[in-house]
């Protein structure tokens, strides 16, 4: 990935792993996919039921990893003029890294087969992440874009695309962030602000204001814990 920062660099990898281990994000996403795509799963099961065992292999799904930036795939398709079409395309927590939101959605939508679906999972516009990153745009927004569900739906509307929105409830216990001697707290603050060292990256005033915002605007207090709102939006775009 040339110019844009990806989430898979240095300490951010550890931060992401820590976050995934301490939230239900992946199981909540999986549950949402199962709920939202029930019709698609049922259609697939029906096709499999009607096929004899000897024919079964024709229903196995071929799977190949093509590791490349979304922008490179776009260039490759445009250069070859080879528009392979898909039943399902997903963008789970990755839209923040694309160069141009509307062009990306328009392009991948154009690759859908009839009745295909494009699934975009992104931070909710009222989540703690959006509140934090919108409030501290100047200090935080670097190479990663601060896209959220409202911006994605604005793009979908501007393209005239039909979509459904489903909320994925998710939360993150950030209580340790408010204990200055906690290593876990420091790690979580580094991850939330995408900095290598939260305590060295901002002035004391900004740090204090950020902690106040994290506690009072991005989270709720429950059973003595500070619980960060990490809700996601699942946008299911129709072909
Ligand atoms: C925050 S991670 C999410 C990973 C995983 N989907 C999940 O939900 O845990 C962001 C993902 O976006 C990918 N990514 C970053 N920039 C990208 C780009 N320009 N094109 C395609 N994928 C990109 C990263 O490689 C990474 O897999």
Element (H, E) at 132: helix 128-135
CATH code, 193 = 3.40.50.150
Query: If pLDDT is split at 50, 70 and 90, which confidence band does 6 have?
Result: low
Alpha carbon nearest to ligand 1 atom 6, residue: 92
pLDDT given at position 54 = 58
Cα–Cα dist 32/87, whole Å: 18
User: Which residues form the domain of 119?
Assistant: 10-238
CA of 95 to the centre of ligand 1 (A): 8
Any atom of ligand 1 within 6 Å of the Cβ of 94? yes
Q: Is residue 31 part of a domain?
A: yes
Q: Is residue 3 part of a domain?
A: no
Strands 232-238 and 112-123: antiparallel
Q: Is residue 2 part of a domain?
A: no
CA of 93 to the centre of ligand 1 (A): 6
Q: Is residue 151 part of a domain?
A: yes
Distance between start and end Cα atoms, the chain: 29
**pLDDT higher than 60, residue 3:** no
Domain count, the chain: 1
Q: Is residue 77 part of a domain?
A: yes
pLDDT given at position 69 = 92
Q: What is the pTM of this model?
A: 0.88
Q: Is residue 5 part of a domain?
A: no
Q: Is residue 1 part of a domain?
A: no
Any atom of ligand 1 within 6 Å of the Cβ of 23? no
């Amino acid at each position: 990935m040339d110019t844009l920062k990806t989430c898979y660099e240095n300490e951010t990898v550890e931060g992401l792993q820590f976050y995934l281990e301490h939230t239900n994000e992946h199981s909540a996403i999986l549950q949402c996919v199962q709920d939202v795509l029930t019709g698609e799963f049922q259609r697939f099961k029906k096709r499999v039921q009607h096929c004899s065992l000897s024919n079964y292999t024709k229903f196995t799904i071929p799977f190949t990893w093509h590791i490349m930036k979304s922008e490179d795939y776009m260039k490759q398709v445009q250069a070859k003029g080879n528009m392979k079409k898909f039943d399902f395309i997903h963008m789970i927590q990755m839209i923040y890294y694309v160069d141009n939101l509307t062009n990306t959605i328009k392009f991948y939508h154009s690759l859908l087969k009839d009745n295909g679906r494009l699934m975009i999972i992104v931070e909710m516009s009222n989540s703690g992440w959006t509140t934090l990153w919108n409030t501290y745009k100047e200090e935080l927004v670097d190479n990663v874009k601060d896209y959220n569900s409202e911006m994605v739906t604005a793009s979908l509307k501007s393209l005239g695309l039909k979509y459904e929105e489903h909320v994925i409830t998710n939360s993150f216990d950030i209580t340790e962030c408010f204990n200055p001697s906690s290593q876990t707290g420091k790690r979580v603050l580094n991850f939330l602000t995408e900095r290598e060292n939260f305590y060295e990256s901002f002035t004391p005033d900004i740090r204090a204001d950020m902690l106040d915002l994290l506690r009072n605007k991005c989270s709720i207090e429950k059973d003595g814990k500070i619980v960060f709102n990490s809700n996601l939006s699942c946008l299911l775009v129709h072909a």
